[in-house]
Chains A and B, each alone.
Chain A
Amino acid sequence: GAGVSQSPSNKVTEKGKDVELRCDPISGHTALYWYRQRLGQGLEFLIYFQGNSAPDKSGLPSDRFSAERTGESVSTLTIQRTQQEDSAVYLCASSKGQINEQFFGPGTRLTVL
């Protein structure tokens, strides 16, 4: 069956531009997560959705970051006024329930020049 998909797979942008990253979770998965992974480092949790509700957004690194989710479907992560430090792979995952196995997408590699 279809797994978690993310688009674009790669994004190169100039400093100061806004970018929007998309995640399509596995159908029926109520929970959705966004992570950031810098080169050679571990995963940094950003935000978690249960349905279209985000219980806590404090994992987002700054107010330039925001995320939305439509129902129990697509989610978008928006980074405004991108900075070079935002360069990383952004990973999305979904799961059936709250403690269940997370299924990860392939990630979006963001490069800010």
Chain B
Amino acid sequence: LAKTTQPISMDSYEGQEVNITCSHNNIATNDYITWYQQFPSQGPRFIIQGYKTKVTNEVASLFIPADRKSSTLSLPRVSLSDTAVYYCLVGDIGRYSSASKIIFGSGTRLSIRP
């Protein structure tokens, strides 16, 4: 069971780089790491997904060390609109035999100040 642990909240300022780390000590060989963003009164939105090393897209980077027991979501030059809850999700949905393996957790509430 790949439980994830994230900080409950983080604060930063506009223009700064923000790094949110997620711990997943029991990650399995076939598990992927996925991050979602959720604004109030909306469903979560996919940000990025990776398996190992580094993944980068137009909005974020995901750093995964060799042991894969943690991952770090990096948001470059944040703005006020990046204020949201960020969820780390670990799992291999295709091989899920138990529903309890899909865990979003409570997420990290990121607040960006002017």
Q: Which residue of B lies closest to A102 (CB)?
A: B46
A25 beta carbon closer than 8 Å to chain B: no
Q: Are B102 and A45 in contact (CB under 8 A)?
A: yes
Q: How many A-B residue pairs have CB under 8 A?
A: 70
Among B34, B93, B98, B100, the one with the most A-chain Cβ atoms within 10 Å of its Cβ is B93
The reply on A55 being an interface residue by CB < 8 A is yes
CB of B46 within 8 A of CB of A101, answer: yes
A to B CB contacts below 8 Å, 6 in the list: A43-B104, A48-B93, A56-B96, A98-B95, A99-B32, A99-B92
Chain A contact residues: helix, strand, loop or mixed = loop
Binds B, one of A12-20, A76-84, A104-112: A104-112
- Binary CB contact string for chain A from 18 to 34 against chain B (1 if under 8 A, 0 otherwise): 00000000000001010
Bin chain A's interface residue count.
Answer: 20 to 34
**Which among B45, B87, B99 is the interface contact of A57 at CB below 8 angstroms?**
B99
Residue in B34, B100, B104, B105 whose CB lies within 8 Å of A58: B100
Task: Considering the complex, give the chain A residue whose CB is closest to the CB of B32.
Answer: A99
Which positions 40-74 of chain B face chain A at CB distance < 8 Å?
42-46, 49
With both chains docked as a complex, state the minimum distance between the C-beta of A43 and any C-beta of chain B, in angstroms: 4
Contact of B99 among A31, A58, A98, A99 (CB under 8 A): A58
Would B96 and A105 count as touching, CB distance under 8 A?
no
Contact of B43 among A48, A60, A106 (CB under 8 A): A106
Question: Cβ of A106 and Cβ of B42 under 8 Å apart?
Answer: yes
Among the listed B36, B103, B106, which residue makes an inter-chain contact with A45, where contact means beta carbons less than 8 Å apart? Answer: B103
Verify A47–B46 contact, CB threshold 8 A. Answer: no
A59 in the interface, Cβ–Cβ < 8 Å? yes
Residue of A nearest to B94 (CB): A98
Contact (A55, B96) CB under 8 Å given A42-B107, A101-B46: yes
Interface string of B72-114 (1 = CB under 8 A from A): 0000000000000001000011111111101111110000000
Known: A99-B32, A105-B43. A42 touches B106 (CB 8 A): yes
